[in-house]
A and B are shown apart, each in its own frame.
Chain A
Amino acid sequence: MGKELIPNKDRILKFIQNNAITLGMILIALYVGIKEPNFFTWDNFKNLSVNTTTRFIIALGVSGCLITKGTDLSAGRMVGLGACIAATLLQKAGSAGKFFPSLPDLPIIFVVIITLAICGVFGFTNGAIISFLKVPPFIATLGMQTLIYGICLVYTGAVPIGSLRDDYTIVAKGSFLGMPYLLIIAVVCGILLWFLYNKTRHGKYMYAIGGNESAAEVAGVNTGKVKIKIYTLAAVLYGLSGILLAAKAGGTSVNMGLGYELEAIAACTIGGVSTNGGVGKISGILIGVLVFELLKISLQFLGVETSYTYIVQGLVIIIAVALDLRKYLAKK
């Protein structure tokens, strides 16, 4: 009953308040679309959706950390690590400057598993540091961010890695019945995480920890174990995104993924994942990522210089979080 009693006008106002960033971005996109006829084209749409896929997978990973009131600043560097490991193991035979000159052609699935497993170990470490050593997630993952970058530098010697095998790059370029593989992979990830968040104990425990960690502990939830699972899964998703990004770019370097964690956190926040914990939906995360990518493409179309787009993106992140916190400020 209660809901129907709120006057329509107030509900519309509330909706606008709660979705201010999304609505603002859509307005910008409409403006760009009217000004630049090339904006609303199939090619541009395809470009947008393919760009969104890898970012969506990263955002899915970081969402679990955010819902439990944590964060994961190692996401971007983990993407870079995943990209470098996969790329070094999947170069064309006999190509100049091959990282492992005598390495035979390994099965792709085997490389994927190795890459995800290595990233998973780092994610597990993040979770264990946060759960057992009680280091705040911000600091723990900040340290891990630098640590992973260092490992990546040592591993690759800061040399860019190219000449990737065609059967690897096809993952990013190919499509099935007109659906790009990347899109299919992202959709599968989205569905799996939706299932995990809504239909399993792990999901319920995750929201409970975000809602009130002490209460979750009292209710018998093994909060440490749940958090370790969350950070491990997150790292696996970053690794997957790294593999796809390297394939998409046809090569990689240690700088792959730089700053992606902030974009992912921003996208989650825009999509309604609260930095206050306990709240966040997969559909919201998708919208958040789309909106953020839309912003980037719009700025590109408007001919805004890349340097300026960073300024805009930074502002959007701050505004998104500020608006989100306003919703939860205690009304005294």
Chain B
Amino acid sequence: MSDFLLEMIGISKSFPGVKALDNATLKVRPGTVHALVGENGAGKSTLMKCLFGIYSKDEGEIIIDGKPTQIVNPYDALMKGIAMVHQELQPILERSIAENIYCGRFPTKPFTKVIDHKKMYEDTEILLKEVKMNFDPKVKLSTLSVSQMQSVEIAKAVSANARIIIMDEPTSSLTQNEVDNLFEIINSLRKKGISIIYISHKMDEILSISDEVTIMRDGQYIGTWDAKELTIDMIVTKMVGRELKNLYPPKSNVPGEIVLEVNDLTSVTEKSFKNINFQLRKGEILGIGGLVGAQRSELVEAIFGIRGIKKGTITYKGKLIKIKRPHDAIMQGIALLTEDRRATGIFGVLSIAENVSIASLDQYVDHHFILNNKKIEKLVQDNVKKLSIKTPSSKTKIQSLSGGNQQKVIISRWLANDPDIFILDEPTRGIDVGAKYEIYTIIADLAKQGKSIVMISSELPELIGMSDRIIVMCGGRVSGEVSREEATQENIMNLATKFA
């Protein structure tokens, strides 16, 4: 009998242009909480998706209870005792708690095969008590909070007799009370012999809840340690794998006069941002920190005209401006690199040339309506050279490039408009470490040229390393501001959880 409940050995997985996992390993003992840590893009989520049957691994072996196992899809994973509480929960909002828990495996009456509602509700009630929820099983999911939905997901895992529960950033949008509650649930699951694979960026949480810690970097396995032997500094050093000093390019930008002023900006959506005030200077890199759910993306998307504003003003170069659609923002000289490149950035099936030129076609028109393809090609070639975009040709479809090169293509798209303000929402998300440095260099260069940068980042080292000044948001409000000199991971985290 093996000491381990789960062994993943030598797992590799490639996507077009990126090797996401390279010989990764994870060994989990029964009845333990096993933390899986690494920077964004280290391959944690990919590894878990291979385990849960969402991705099929290219190489490697998954062993459960000492027996090699193939997992073909999430249902198969569930049948083999593996459940996942997703980073972004995907509940069926308009159905009841009970139906969400039993969807796909409803209890039925013996002969007619009609759903046995009585049994379903009774069982659900017992399950909910296990996760410390006092709710009617018939309540619709849409009436619950994020943390309650998460508890429902955990109840679902328990009901499927899961022996391994994967939790991907479970506390990213929870308050401290909710986190404590979650930890209580985790502890009771652990006592029952269930293993938890716990993915998180919050080091203090990891050290307080986990028994063992596996660290990954660039898709590779770095090692596994007893949590008691580790300190936050040790984890960070092992995660990053190099001195933090050389991660960011030297900066020589000099912040000048105020170009953008946001006053009392409030979203039309009740639970989104409210009463936001900040200023942005010429040639300044302004960081926006905060936890997931702090409404940072919502704020910049509202400034860019994607979302609605209930009240408040935006003053740009001394003039009040009204932005109703992205087009208005672009005309003012504002650019937005969105957070989710795939959803709102790239045109996957279109070429590099089309992806670069789409926002600036007005400049490349002869006789009022005929596009000048020669000029467009020159624009594309100039940018490919300037940002060293690695692509076979300008006609290559953007979806075949790596994340970093895709990001550079979208930056080129905005450069073509020569905007004065760049809003960058998680500019290095899902990008290889090497390409990150190139993106930082581009950002530093832009600031040096006198462009103003607003950069949202959930990676604290990046935020501190790049920003001249950082405002921190919590629960839709600005909870504080720190200068580059006084910025530390601790004081930013404190501000980010200020109203929790």
Interface residues of A (CB under 8 A from B): 1-2, 199-201, 204-205, 207-208, 210-212, 214-222, 274, 276-279, 332
* CB-CB nearest in chain A for B340: A214
Binds A, one of B207-215, B228-236, B343-351, B475-483: B343-351
- Taking A204-B361, A218-B306 as contacts, is the C-beta distance between A199 and B370 under 8 angstroms? yes
Contact yes or no, A219 B358, CB < 8 A: yes
Residue B239 interfacial (CB < 8 Å): no
Residue B32 interfacial (CB < 8 Å): no
Query: A269–B350 Cα gap in the complex (Å)?
Result: 18
Which residues from B are CB-within-8-Å of A200?
Answer: 369-371
Query: A212–B56 Cα gap in the complex (Å)?
Result: 26
Which residues from A are CB-within-8-Å of B336?
Answer: 218
User: Can you list 13 A-B contacts with CB-CB less than 8 angstroms, sorted by A residue number?
Assistant: A199-B371, A204-B357, A204-B361, A205-B358, A207-B347, A208-B354, A212-B344, A215-B338, A218-B326, A218-B345, A220-B359, A276-B349, A278-B348
Query: A222–B362 Cα gap in the complex (Å)?
Result: 13
Residue B138 interfacial (CB < 8 Å): no
Query: A279–B347 Cα gap in the complex (Å)?
Result: 11
Contact yes or no, A208 B347, CB < 8 A: yes
CB distance from A225 to the nearest CB of B (A): 10
Residue B413 interfacial (CB < 8 Å): yes
Residue B392 interfacial (CB < 8 Å): yes
Quick one: which of B346, B349, B350, B392 contacts A1, CB cutoff 8 A?
B392
Which residues from A are CB-within-8-Å of B369?
Answer: 200-201
Which residues from B are CB-within-8-Å of A2?
Answer: 392
Which residues from A are CB-within-8-Å of B338?
Answer: 215, 218
Number of A-B contacts (CB under 8 A): 85
Query: A221–B348 Cα gap in the complex (Å)?
Result: 17
Contact yes or no, B350 A278, CB < 8 A: yes
Which residues from B are CB-within-8-Å of A276?
Answer: 349
Which residues from A are CB-within-8-Å of B329?
Answer: 220
Query: A265–B76 Cα gap in the complex (Å)?
Result: 38
Contact yes or no, A207 B370, CB < 8 A: no
Query: A78–B212 Cα gap in the complex (Å)?
Result: 68
- Taking A201-B361, A204-B357, A220-B326 as contacts, is the C-beta distance between A211 and B347 under 8 angstroms? yes
The count of residues in chain B whose C-beta lies closer than 8 Å to any C-beta of chain A is 34
CB distance from B492 to the nearest CB of A (A): 28
- Taking A211-B348, A212-B344, A332-B55 as contacts, is the C-beta distance between A220 and B371 under 8 angstroms? no
Contact yes or no, B392 A201, CB < 8 A: no
Which residues from A are CB-within-8-Å of B348?
Answer: 211-212, 278
Residue B119 interfacial (CB < 8 Å): no
Contact yes or no, A208 B350, CB < 8 A: yes
Contact yes or no, A219 B326, CB < 8 A: yes
Contact yes or no, B343 A204, CB < 8 A: no
Which residues from B are CB-within-8-Å of A217?
Answer: 306, 325-326, 344
Q: Which residues of chain B from 55 to 87 have a CB within 8 Å of any chain A CB?
A: 55-56
Residue B330 interfacial (CB < 8 Å): yes
Query: A204–B351 Cα gap in the complex (Å)?
Result: 11
CB distance from B304 to the nearest CB of A (A): 8
Contact yes or no, A215 B345, CB < 8 A: yes
Query: A204–B354 Cα gap in the complex (Å)?
Result: 7
CB distance from B363 to the nearest CB of A (A): 11
Which residues from A are CB-within-8-Å of B304?
Answer: 218
Query: A80–B330 Cα gap in the complex (Å)?
Result: 43
Which residues from A are CB-within-8-Å of B139?
Answer: none
Which residues from B are CB-within-8-Å of A201?
Answer: 361-362, 365, 369, 371
CB distance from B74 to the nearest CB of A (A): 12
CB distance from A168 to the nearest CB of B (A): 33
Quick one: which of B358, B365, B371 contacts A221, CB cutoff 8 A?
B358
Which residues from A are CB-within-8-Å of B327?
Answer: 220-222
Which residues from B are CB-within-8-Å of A220?
Answer: 325-327, 329-331, 359
Contact yes or no, A218 B344, CB < 8 A: yes
The 6 closest A-B pairs by CB, nearest first: A211-B347, A220-B327, A219-B359, A220-B330, A278-B349, A214-B344
Residue B54 interfacial (CB < 8 Å): yes
Q: A208-B358, A212-B348, A218-B344 are in contact. List 10 more A-B contacts (CB 8 A).
A: A208-B350, A208-B354, A212-B345, A212-B347, A216-B347, A218-B338, A219-B358, A219-B359, A221-B327, A332-B55
Q: Which residues of chain B from 359 to 409 have a CB within 8 Å of any chain A CB?
A: 359, 361-362, 365, 369-371, 373, 392
Which residues from A are CB-within-8-Å of B354?
Answer: 204, 207-208
Query: A274–B397 Cα gap in the complex (Å)?
Result: 15
Query: A214–B326 Cα gap in the complex (Å)?
Result: 11
Which residues from A are CB-within-8-Å of B361?
Answer: 201, 204-205
CB distance from A90 to the nearest CB of B (A): 33
* CB-CB nearest in chain A for B344: A214
CB distance from A205 to the nearest CB of B (A): 8
Which residues from B are CB-within-8-Å of A211?
Answer: 347-350
- Taking A215-B344, A218-B336 as contacts, is the C-beta distance between A279 and B349 under 8 angstroms? yes
Which residues from B are CB-within-8-Å of A207?
Answer: 347, 350, 354
- Taking A218-B336, A220-B327 as contacts, is the C-beta distance between A204 and B55 under 8 angstroms? no
Query: A200–B376 Cα gap in the complex (Å)?
Result: 12
